[in-house]
Chain A
Amino acid sequence: MQHTLEEFLRALRAADVKVSPAEAIDAARTAATVGYADRELFKDALCATLAKSKDEVVRFDQAFETFFTRAPFALGAPPPDEGEGREGGQETPGLAQSPLAQMLLKGDAAGLAQSMEEAAARAGVAEIRLSTQRSRLTRRLLDEMGLAEIEKIIANARRMPDGQGVADRLDAAKKGLVAQAQAFVERQHELYASGSGKQLREEMLAKKALNADGGIDPVDLVMMQALVKRMAKRLADRYSRRRHTANRGHLDVRKTLRKSMAHGGVPFEIEWKVKKVDKPSIVAICDVSKSVAAAAQFLLTFLYALNEVVDRLDAYAFSGRLIPVNAILDDNGVEGAILKVLQTIGFQQTDYGRALEDFVDNHIDRLDRHTTVIILGDGRSNFADPRLDLMHLIQQRARAVIWLNPEPESYWGQGDSVMYRYVRFTHVAKQCNTLGQLERIVEDVLRTYSAH
């Protein structure tokens, strides 16, 4: 059973349930404590030891069911044995010596299942990584079981004068066996490889350009949404913890002595050392016009996810005019919120000057020396006045201004792009058109706010 347990742990790792060596030891101790007799008990006990979050519990349940459920080995009843064929058939060379042939003829499901498990271990079926390996591994599994031998026996039997009956029965049983082997490999693929394909795809999507020609595949879209949420959550987890370090639990001798002066040196009031932490304060201004519509969707999703965890995040969106979107992000689910923002102001002609004017007129007091301003946009203002003076004002008021542009830097001065003129008034201006880049930049911003 030790080997089976290890195989199961490997299947769990493939299903993205983290199992460290220490947990593997725990699993073995668990198995020793509860035993294998009661399936439910075994499952619950292993689950408590190995699955460490709600999602992992779901994946654990799935992996457990797939791994430990063996579909009964359905060969189909062997074709009826016709009396006259028996004697002649049994003399076919090699038939009596081949245990596999005997098992097939008898329809010995348990024996065949066991032989298949053994052959699978020899053929390394559990090493499967890609779906394209399935047919090759099925062939290898059958070879290991001795299919070539069976085929030889069938050929021999056909040459025998009265061997037709045996040959037909063996042939039918062989077909059943092949189907079983296919199902077996398919199950192994599901156990060990289905997760890795998804992982590969997610890595690729994180690098995919958001404003790529032809837009983003609807299938990818769903996956990317999930990816964005995970990224934001990861950032939030890492940085939201450090926001509240306050009391360090050490006596501040200097302050205590100074306070005690008032009471003739008797320390009535005790002072503690404290640590001051800047809370992240972010103002995000997001362009949602036509030219950046594809990217805007993701930026909004990202803002939405961050909004749940950063206390002081104010989000604004603009194309022609600028509006605050905090309330929309708070009140709606993620898909609804994005749709609503786009409905309200999306897909109009961009006017950066106008949008900056709106921001300075109505929301400038939101900026102070702790605020980081993140602007997401392509800097294409349709030849309208870019209002660089307002940009300068924003830069002076804020702690840092970061401009993220989905276009590559070589496009920044071309056509109606005034990006280079804005760059002078930013602290950082970067190309940002993949999810990976977006995550890295936001992480840099959050890190500058950690405890000091």
Chain B
Amino acid sequence: MALTISAPAPVGSINPFASVDALVEGLGGVGYIASRRIATALYMAVHLQKPILVEGSAGVGKTELALSTARLLAQPLIRMQCYEGLDESKALYEWKYGKQLLYTQILKDRMGSALADAPDMDAAMDRLHGMGDLFFSEPFLEPRPLMQALRHDDGCVLLIDEIDKSDEAFEAFLLEVLSAYQVSVPELGVIVAKTPPLVFLTSNNVRDLGDALKRRCLHLHIPLPEPALEERIVATRVPGIEQALTGQLVAFVQSLRMLDLRKAPSISETVDWARALILLHARDLDPAMVRDTLNVILKFEQDIAAVEPQIVELLARR
């Protein structure tokens, strides 16, 4: 699963983490248009070696930030998606129970013969102890994302996605990993990362995270972008789009965000819409075109119903 990339040198000639401006430029180079606040938070995360907790509504580019940083550092990205009921056996490591059990079954006869010539019960037990340890060793260990990240000696980017969906217990379990970059495995001892991974945690605010976790992280809230920034993002993400159309569609989306909607369109919706309009060979926005493609930016039937009658007015407002 681990992607090893042959050229460890970062993209570009200068170190992108030398200053915040260099970082903004570096991220721009891999297709992520970052505001200064985003770049500053990332800069601090690298220099203080702390995990970074990214919050913001869905589709503002939280996950994308981690992906782009991995590209910028030319390091592998290890992603762990959180969900209810996620526990350490899914996140850290697991013994291959099935394999262990099958092996004991297969080796049953072999064991019988190995134990047959044991002079007494104690000697037989001693031999069994030796075999038992074999079953809790590397070949039977299934490393999960957290352990993979800690074992990457050249460093990597670890993305713990949607941490707010996991349980409180799992959050507490993460504390050791995030503050000391180590984990304790009862059978193997403490595993310490040689090079601490750069950790991103993302949250959609489904629930409030515990103070202990927040305290260990830098905090970054990504808001919905200003029109100028959004236009640059669309232009970067959708090459070949005309500037006039970009301006129009960004202004329209921005005006939608002013309305009282269940789910206001975020950046990813704007980008998707721009792509859709390119496919439809649109040159500029007209009401009919907007009406036909409204389902790309609005995800609720009520929202579409609320916006449809206002399209002409919203387009004229600019």
A23 contacts partner chain B, Cβ-Cβ < 8 Å = yes
Chain A 9-28 near chain B by CB (<8 Å), digits 1 or 0: 00000000010101100100
**Is B97 positioned at the interface, with any CB of A under 8 Å from its CB?**
yes
CB under 8 Å from chain A, chain B span 47-77: 47-48, 50, 52-53, 55
CA distance A85 to B317 in the complex (A): 67
B102 within 8 A of A: yes
Residue from B97, B167, B219 within 8 A of A251 (CB atoms): B97
Task: Of the listed stretches A107-115, A239-247, A432-440, name the one at the interface; the rest are far from the partner chain.
Answer: A239-247
| Contact between B102 and A266, CB atoms less than 8 A apart | yes
CB-defined interface of A301-322 with B at 8 Å, one 1/0 digit per residue?
0000000000000000000000
**Among the listed B37, B44, B169, B219, which residue makes an inter-chain contact with A52, where contact means beta carbons less than 8 Å apart?**
B219
Task: Tell whether A84 is near chain B: CB-to-CB under 8 Å.
Answer: no
Pairwise interchain contact B87-A248, C-beta atoms closer than 8 A: yes
- Contact A52/B85 with A33-B44, A270-B98 known, Cβ cut-off 8 Å: no
A182 to B98, CA, bound (A): 76
Q: How far is the CA of A32 from the CA of B268 in the complex (A)?
A: 37
| Interface stretch (choices A41-49, A184-192, A219-227) | A41-49
Q: Is the CB of B167 within 8 A of A22?
A: no
B53: chain A residues within 8 A (beta carbon): 52
Q: Is the CB of A20 within 8 A of B208?
A: no
Q: Mark B36-51, 1 if CB is under 8 A from A, else 0.
A: 1100110111011010
* B interface size (C-beta, 8 A): 39
Contact, CB under 8 Å: A241 / B167: yes
A268 to B, closest residue via Cβ: B98
Within the complex, which residue of A30, A34, A241 is in contact with B207, where a contact is CB–CB below 8 Å? Answer: A241
B→A interface (CB under 8 Å): 20, 36-37, 40-41, 43-45, 47-48, 50, 52-53, 55, 84-85, 87-90, 94, 97-98, 101-102, 105, 167-169, 207-208, 211, 214-215, 217-221
Evaluate contact between A270 and B44: CB separation under 8 angstroms: no
CB-CB under 8 A from B37, the residues of chain A are: 44, 47-48
C-beta contact mask, A47-78 vs B, less than 8 Å → 1, else 0? 11101111011000000000000000000000
Asked whether A118 is an interface residue with its Cβ less than 8 Å from the other chain, the reply is no
Contact with B along A227-240 (1 / 0, CB 8 A): 00000010011001
> Given known contacts A44-B36, A48-B41, is B48 in contact with A33 (CB within 8 Å)?
yes
A217 at the interface (CB under 8 A from B): no
Whether B167 and A49, one on each chain, are in contact in the complex, defined by CB atoms closer than 8 angstroms, is: no
Q: Is the CB of B105 within 8 A of A265?
A: yes
Across-interface contacts of B50 in A (CB, < 8 A): 26
A53 close to B169 (CB less than 8 A): no
Complex interface residues of chain A between 175 and 234 (CB less than 8 A to chain B): 233
Which residues of A lie under 8 Å from residue B208 when comparing CB positions?
Answer: 53, 233, 237
Nearest A residue to B106 by beta-carbon distance?
A266
A244 touching B85, Cβ below 8 Å:
yes
B44→A45 contact, CB < 8 A: yes
Residues of B within 8 A of A23 (CB): 215
Residue of B nearest to A44 (CB): B40
Residue in contact with B215 in the complex, picked from A22, A44, A267, CB distance below 8 Å: A22
Is there an interface contact between A20 and B40, defined as CB atoms closer than 8 Å? no
* Interchain nearest-CB distance for B78 vs A (Å): 20
Q: Does A249 count as interface, using CB distance less than 8 angstroms?
A: yes
A267 to B101, CA, bound (A): 7
Q: Decide: B87 and A241 in contact? CB cutoff 8 A.
A: no
**Chain B residues in 8 Å Cβ range of A82:** none
A237/B207 in contact, CB under 8 A? yes
Which one of A30, A45, A237 has the greatest number of beta carbons of chain B within 10 Å?
A45
Among B41, B55, B87, B168, the residue within 8 A (CB) of A44 is B41
B97 to A270, Cβ gap below 8 A? yes
B72 to chain A, nearest CB (A): 18
Of all chain B residues, the one with the shortest Cβ separation from A250 is B89
The distance in angstroms between the C-alpha atoms of A94 and B98, with both chains bound, is 95
CA distance A345 to B52 in the complex (A): 50
| Inter-chain contacts of B36 with A (CB < 8 A) | 40-41, 44
The contact sample of 12 A-B pairs, CB cut-off 8 A, is: A18-B211, A34-B44, A44-B40, A45-B41, A51-B219, A53-B214, A53-B221, A57-B221, A240-B207, A249-B87, A267-B101, A270-B98
**A29 at interface, CB cutoff 8 A:** yes
What is the CA–CA distance of A286 and B211 in the complex, to the nearest angstrom? 35
Contact of B219 among A22, A48, A248, A256 (CB under 8 A): A48
Q: Which residues of A contact B20 (CB under 8 A)?
A: 41
Q: Is the beta-carbon distance between A249 and B89 smaller than 8 angstroms? A: yes
Q: Which residues on the B side are within 8 Å of A44 (C-beta)?
A: 36-37, 40-41
Quick one: which of B47, B55, B89, B102 contacts A54, CB cutoff 8 A? B55
B293 to chain A, nearest CB (A): 27
Closest 9 CB pairs of A and B: A249-B89, A44-B40, A48-B41, A52-B214, A244-B84, A249-B87, A241-B168, A267-B101, A48-B218
In whole angstroms, what is the CA distance A242 to B169 when docked?
9
Residues of A within 8 A of B84 (CB): 244, 246
A244–B44 alpha-carbon span in the complex (Å): 35
Q: How far apart are the CA atoms of A7 and B32 in the complex, in Å? A: 37
* Among B40, B89, B94, B207, contact of A41 (Cβ-Cβ < 8 Å): B40
CA distance A33 to B169 in the complex (A): 34
In the complex, besides A249-B87, A267-B102, 13 extra interface pairs with C-beta distance below 8 angstroms are A41-B20, A41-B36, A44-B36, A52-B214, A52-B219, A53-B219, A53-B221, A236-B207, A242-B168, A244-B167, A249-B89, A270-B97, A270-B98
Partner of B85, one of A53, A245, A256: A245
For A19, the closest partner residue in chain B by CB is B215
Q: Which chain A residue has the least Cβ–Cβ distance from B42?
A: A48
**Residue numbers in B under 8 Å from A34 (CB-CB):** 40, 43-44
Residue of A nearest to B47 (CB): A33
- Partner pick for B40 among A48, A57, A251, CB 8 A cutoff: A48
